[in-house]
Structure 1
Amino acid sequence: MQDNAMSRWLSPLMAFGLSFIIIATLAPMTGIQVERQLDFWLLWLGTMVILALPITYLEIALAKRSKSTALQALSGLTRDADASPKWRIVGWLAVVFIPFLAGGLLSNAAKILNQYAVEGLAGNIVLVILAVVALSLSLLARQILLLCTAVAVVAALVLANIFGTQLPAWQVTPIELGEWGSATVLALVASGLGMGLYWQTSLAQAQQQNAATSTVLPIWIAQLLAVVAFAFFAVQAQIPALALVVAAVAAAAVLLQLAREQLAQRQMAVAIQWIVLIAATLVWAVPAITSVFNFVLLLWGLVICLIYAIFAGWIMKISHLRKAMNFSSEALYNLWRIAVRVVLPISIVVAIFALIGQFLA
């Protein structure tokens, strides 16, 4: 009974704290904090409905169907779909992406510390120190780490307002293709989707619920709250900056723990588990290619979501996910299926081309 109650709040808590920290990391890469463009924020909120919500349903439906975490489950899911084992590559792409994303969070946290607290220390040295702390904290209970992340995020929000966050005035500008790419990244990658994180943390609850909606909506609402909260946040003082760094380190620890758990369930040797985590995290300590890694981070996250959308929408059997989601009407299922089969792939492909165009420009 206690485990059931715990699982109900675990994923929404993670969705809020983790989404906020990833948004804070990816926002400078997309440039959305330079100018507060109302049209972009409305576009972002729209993508949260038409892109993030369907893929959140996707994760929970796969959790209900597979009864296992993502990396372990893909073997069974591909067999059930009579699909090529090559589709299982998405699980490995995701499980390596998770510590790579953790490294991105820590890299951004190191930059914040360099700006507000430790100006004399090289950024890559600060990142290594933060990585050691995050790897050590990843051994703690997940509930403690998620609570620390959420509390630190709320503290950063409150302290930013206490110390006088001054944001530019809202303005309306024409929507450009690059904005669609940024909005798609922030709706999918920044919400932690495609990595199987909510799949993993909601596994117990998903098995006990008849319909996926009761699990999905709290997660999605928490993600949406993180988006809205970030619209009124900026780091402009040392104390809120330090709170944000604490949140980033705790969030990175959660990511590292989740990745290690998936690798362990695949019965990978403990030494190999730690090598994967450390290598994918510390690669960000190479300063010469950090800008390339920023682009790789955005692109990699979108590719994972694209593969999952194609696999669930076109490769899996229709009856499997319909039963797992148990929508109240056939019309809702058909809307979801259109979103996954058509809207998501097209939107992600357009976003990928937009990001490539921005990177080459």
Structure 2
Amino acid sequence: MQDNALSKWLPPLMAFCLSFIVIAALAPMTGIQIDRQLDFWLLWLTTMLILALPVCYLEIALAKRSKTTALQALSNLTRDADASQKWRLAGWLGAVFIPFLAGGILSNSAQILNLSALSGIAPNILFAVLAIAAFAVSFIPRQWTVLLTTVGVLASLIAANALGTSLPAWHITSLDFSEWGSATVLALVASGLGLGLYWQSSLPAVQTQDSASKAALPIWFAQLLAVAAFGFFAVSSAIPAYVFAFAAVMGAGLILNMAREQLQQRQLAAAVQWGILLAAVFAWAIPQISAIFNIALMLWGLVICLIYALFAGWIMKISHLRKSMNFSNEAFYNIWRIAVRIVLPVGIIAAIIAVIGKLF
């Protein structure tokens, strides 16, 4: 267990780094158009407010209620709610998704490295090297990994701008329905929401805090800052590609560490733990299906958020989450509950339809 000083800055710092790394790796490889389009960024800001913020509060409230990590907590939460054990699937989907996300980060980083610096080496070979390094990093104490990831992210931003990254001017384009899907993916999946990562990293802090806002708002603002930073970032030469690859390895190692901790708390055999982690990461080594995996990554992440919204909004007892939230005003809780019960499911389902619609 981390001490109180570390527990306060660790979740928002992790939110900043993880959001930046996932967006930088995911956006170029999934066709998400975010090329300084002012209208798209305003749409993204809307999704951050009406979708990401309620999910962020949801994770912190469940952390306060359960006092353990997501995978372990679902057993207790479903019993408290007298709910079907099928809802525990959300925890398993998240626990397996975390190493799958790590594989996606490393695979797409290998693609960027291949295009910008190492064109003579096959992307799947580069991916294997990065993946092995990330597994090694996963054994470093978490607070040090967060610091190293932060150094990598900041160095990536400095290197990209110092080497004359050419960015287009801000401009306005016409919005279409498919962009809702892209904005929602950036707000939820690319920010790591719904995976229990902020739930897990905030556990030491939330036990001593009387209100969920003290943990949720810093995480949410850190995610906003990460995407704002990404608006001034592009890999256009070898050095930024190398530096970003370092940040990606650190970030992937960090979340692999957290995934392993969740699996350990379920008291799975070591062989099963490593089988899940290795299979989820190295599935990305097959170059022919990486494009399919990028789509699966987006849809899988959205489905996890949808399940949590339905469970918290419609299955859990009202009194449980009201106490965990501890809002200063009852109206704030009612607004949050409406967002989780109605706005989130409708918004996520619309995003899933939009993502699938891009395939046809």
Gaps of 5+ in 2: none
Match in the other structure for 2:227: 227
Give the Cα–Cα distance (whole angstroms) in 1 for the partners of residues 265 and 317 of structure 2.
26
Please state how far the C-alpha of 1:30 moved relative to its aligned partner: 4.6
- Residue 120 of structure 1 and its aligned partner are, at CA, apart by 1.5
State the SS of the aligned residue for 1:208. coil
8 Å contact kept, 2:52–2:193: yes
Deviation at 1:339, TM superposition (A): 0.6
Comparing 300-309 with 20-29, greater Cα deviation is found at: 20-29
* Residue number in structure 2 paired with 1:90: 90
**Aligned 8 A contact 2:2 2:204 in 1:** no
Residue 336 of structure 1 is matched in structure 2 by 336
Paired residues of 1:61 and 1:321 also in contact (CA < 8 A): yes
Write the mapping of 1:98-117 to structure 2, written as runs, cut at 5 A: 98-117=98-117
Q: Distance in 2 between matches of 1:172 and 1:31?
A: 18
Aligned to 2:355: 355
Tell me which amino acid in the other structure corresponds to 1:93. L
Q: What amino acid sits opposite 1:188 in the alignment?
A: L
State the Cα distance separating 1:168 from its structure 2 match: 1.5
Label 1:173 to 1:85 Cα distance change in 2 as closer, same or farther (>3 A): same
Alpha-carbon separation, structure 2, partners of 1:86 and 1:33: 36
- Give how far 1:29 is off: 4.0
1:258 and 2:258 aligned: yes
Could you say what the CA RMSD is over the residues aligned between the two structures, in angstroms? 1.2
Q: Does the 8 A contact of 2:117 with 2:237 survive in 1?
A: no
Cα distance in 2 for residues equivalent to 1:73 and 1:169: 47
Tell me the SS of whatever aligns to 2:47: helix
In the alignment, structure 1 residue 146 sits paired with structure 2 residue 146: yes
- Equivalent positions of 1:195-206 (< 5 A) are 195-206=195-206
Distance 1:59 1:115 in 2: 37
Q: For residue 280 of structure 2, what is the aligned residue in structure 1?
A: 280
Q: Distance in 2 between matches of 1:263 and 1:159?
A: 37
Q: Tell me if the contact between 2:116 and 2:236 (Cα under 8 Å) persists in the aligned partners.
A: no
What percent identity do the matched residue pairs reach?
A: 66
Counterpart position of 1:190: 190
Which residue pairs with 2:176 in the alignment? 176
SS in 2 for 1:68: coil
Q: CA deviation at 1:118?
A: 2.1
Partner of 1:162: 162
Q: Distance in 1 between matches of 2:255 and 2:206?
A: 21
- TM-score for the superposition, normalised by structure 2: 0.98
After superposition, the C-alpha distances for 1:87-141 in whole angstroms (9 at most, x for unaligned) are 0001000000000000000001111221233222111111111111100110010
**Residue 69 of structure 2 corresponds to residue 69 of structure 1:** yes
* SS of match in other structure, 2:207: helix
Given that residues 61 and 325 in structure 1 are in contact (C-alpha distance below 8 angstroms), is that contact kept between their aligned partners in structure 2?
A: yes
Query: Residues 282-313 of structure 1: CA distance to partner in whole angstroms, max 9, x if unpaired?
Result: 00000111111010000000000000000000
Pair 1:290-2:297 in alignment: no
Change in Cα spacing, 1:42 to 1:218, as seen in structure 2 (3 Å) is: same
The Cα shift of 1:31 comes to 3.2
Q: Counterparts of 1:218 and 1:5 in 2: how far apart (Å)?
A: 15
- Provide the C-alpha distance between the structure 1 equivalents of 2:102 and 2:35, rounded to a whole number of angstroms: 27
> 1:171, CA displacement in angstroms?
1.5
- Kindly indicate whether the alpha-carbon contact (under 8 Å) linking 1:26 and 1:186 is maintained by their aligned counterparts in 2: no
Paired residues in the alignment total: 360
Structure 2 partner of 1:11: 11
Unmatched runs of 5 consecutive residues or more in structure 1: none
Kept in 2, the 8 Å contact 1:12–1:219? The answer is yes
Deviates more, 1:157-166 or 1:292-301: 157-166
Amino acid at match of 1:343: V
Measure the CA separation in 2 of the matches of 1:137 and 1:256: 9
Q: What is the TM-score with the length of structure 1 in the denominator? A: 0.98
Amino acid of the structure 2 residue aligned with 1:212: A
What secondary structure is seen at the aligned counterpart in 1 of 2:234?
coil
Q: What is the CA-CA distance between 1:72 and the residue it aligns to? A: 0.2
Q: Distance in 1 between matches of 2:321 and 2:120?
A: 54
Residues 30, 182 of structure 1: 8 Å contact kept: no
Report the alpha carbon displacement of residue 278 of structure 1 after superposing the two structures with TM. 0.7
Which amino acid in structure 2 is aligned with residue 75 of structure 1? S
